[in-house]
């Protein structure tokens, strides 16, 4: 599933298309007050998806549109955007919603389901299109609110499923049950799955695989297993074997029992010790 984050985290677009950004000195979020912004996004999404006919760069029916961490201060400090908001009698939050809903309709028109980070749901709730999918990262409790409102969800709660949090143990990854406090089968069915996150700015080629593996495997088994498959002692043997299998295939997975991800092994030849 590709993610094209907007309107925030998009200042790189200003280099090629300066007119869609607030000003040369205040670059983001993208400018909601000009049709140039939305014309560009619509054409861009058409290239990505190929529209309803398909044939684009990505074939998933999901299209992640970001929407997180939107700092609207550039909108209020840019006279043309401030005047547009005043003319339309909306606040910065209203401009944010206008942007999100307009891009949602573009994605839906091109046969895709729009996905957004949870800030979008926290801000606009049931004003979002029913096709919207909410990606939880800030607060696990938001998952229950999302599915109770009838929206589909993806879980990536940052306190236990962010791989760049090196002190988070494989046990925590494994015991992070998406259906916690969800007993209604209809609501459970709205949880599409989960994702562990590895942010590129915290790794390079020297430590990527040690940071991702084997902890990502713990989340993987949780996602494909029933709720009652949760015995960490039994899983430990499977995880240790899997880690050594990765090593034998040239994947530099870290030792299972380190207190910090990607630490050195406690002793040499740990796989042979099995």
Active site residues: 69
Q: Give residue for tokens 């042979």.
A: 272
Greatest Cα pair distance, the chain, in angstroms, is: 72
- In sequence order, the 6+-apart residues with CB closer than 8 A to the CB of 145 are 121
Measured CA to CA in angstroms, residue 139 lies from 94, 136, 142, 167, 200 at distances of 24, 7, 6, 19, 22
Q: Contact at 8 Å (CB) between 139 and 200?
A: no
- In sequence order, the 6+-apart residues with CB closer than 8 A to the CB of 187 are 144, 147, 148
Q: Give residue for tokens 């058409």.
A: 46
CA distance 24 to 15: 10
CA distance 134 to 66: 10
Task: Note the residue count of the chain.
Answer: 274
| HEC-encoded secondary structure of 125-156 | HHHCCCCCEEEECCCCHHHHHHHHCCCEEEEC
Cross-strand partners of 194: 155
């Amino acid at each position: 599933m590709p993610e094209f984050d907007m309107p925030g985290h998009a200042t790189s677009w200003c280099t090629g298309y300066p007119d869609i950004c607030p000003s040369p000195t205040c670059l983001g979020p993208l400018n909601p007050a000009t049709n140039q912004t939305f014309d560009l996004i619509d054409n861009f999404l058409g290239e990505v998806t190929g529209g309803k006919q398909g044939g684009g760069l990505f074939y998933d029916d999901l299209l992640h549109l970001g929407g997180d961490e939107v700092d609207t201060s550039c909108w209020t400090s840019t006279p043309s955007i401030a005047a547009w908001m005043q003319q339309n009698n909306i606040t910065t939050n209203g401009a944010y919603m206008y942007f999100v809903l307009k891009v949602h309709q573009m994605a839906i028109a091109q046969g895709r389901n729009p996905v957004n980070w949870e800030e979008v749901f926290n801000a606009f709730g049931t004003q979002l299109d029913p096709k919207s999918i909410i990606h939880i990262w800030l607060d696990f409790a938001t998952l229950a609110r999302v599915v109770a409102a009838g929206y589909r969800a993806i879980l990536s709660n940052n306190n236990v499923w962010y791989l760049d949090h090196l002190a988070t143990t494989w046990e925590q990854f494994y015991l992070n049950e998406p259906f916690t406090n969800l007993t209604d089968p209809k609501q459970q069915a709205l949880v599409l799955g989960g994702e562990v996150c590895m942010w590129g700015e915290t790794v390079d080629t020297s430590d990527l695989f040690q940071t991702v593996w084997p902890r990502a495997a713990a989340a993987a088994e949780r996602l494909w297993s029933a709720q009652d498959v949760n015995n960490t002692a039994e899983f430990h043997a499977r995880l240790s074997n899997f880690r050594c299998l990765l090593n034998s295939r040239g994947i530099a997975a870290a030792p299972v029992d380190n207190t910090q991800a990607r630490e050195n092994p406690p002793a040499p030849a740990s796989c042979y010790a099995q």
